Amino acid sequence: MTELPYAEDIGHYWQTSKSSPDQWIDRCKKLIESIGGVVVAEGFGAVEGRSAYMMAFEIGDNSFKVVWPVLPSATGKSLAARRQAATLLYHDIKAKALTASVLGSKVAFFSYMMLSDGRVASEVAAPELIGAFPFQLPKGEG
């Protein structure tokens, strides 16, 4: 598994908001609904010192799931790290919603697309993707 940077080190949304993580997650849900999506599940989980937010949603006939990690805090500020993660998730969804308005939700949220085996597209190796989506990927080397 890839080592995550410290929350303080990435420089984005670190202690810049007074909104709670739940408020940012609610904003994510409203944003998804505003583009015609339906949130089917959302949650927060932690295991072995790692934690993440999860949101599953549908837009049209497509299902998507994002798991956004809470970065570890070098200074022990776990609430600030959770707030940062929820804020980053919101802004990621917001950017993809903008892309969806031009290119469609399937293109915009492709990395979050649920496959029939339960994985999301970003978890699959390129050769597997070619088999799953032969009509969508350009020919290339490799």
The per-residue pLDDT for range 34-76, each reduced to its tens digit, is 999 999 999 999 998 899 999 999 999 999 999 999 999 999 9
Residue 104's domain comprises 7-132
User: Does 87 fall in a domain?
Assistant: yes
pTM of the model: 0.84
- pLDDT the model gives residue 8: 92
The candidate with the shortest Cα–Cα distance to 12, out of 87, 95, 98, 93, is 87
* Whether the predicted pLDDT of 129 surpasses 90: no
Q: Mean pLDDT over residues 94-122, rounded? A: 92
User: Does 34 fall in a domain?
Assistant: yes
pLDDT band, very low/low/confident/very high, at 137 (cuts 50, 70, 90):
very low
Number of domains in the chain: 1
User: Does 142 fall in a domain?
Assistant: no
User: Does 138 fall in a domain?
Assistant: no
User: Does 2 fall in a domain?
Assistant: no
User: Does 15 fall in a domain?
Assistant: yes
Which percentage of the chain shows pLDDT scores above 90? 68
User: Does 97 fall in a domain?
Assistant: yes
User: Does 139 fall in a domain?
Assistant: no
d(CA 2, CA 20) in angstroms, rounded, equals: 27
pLDDT band, very low/low/confident/very high, at 127 (cuts 50, 70, 90):
low
List of long-range contacts for 111-120, beta carbons under 8 Å, 24+ apart? 112/64, 112/65, 112/66, 113/62, 113/63, 113/64, 114/56, 114/62, 114/63, 114/64, 114/65, 120/64, 120/65, 120/66
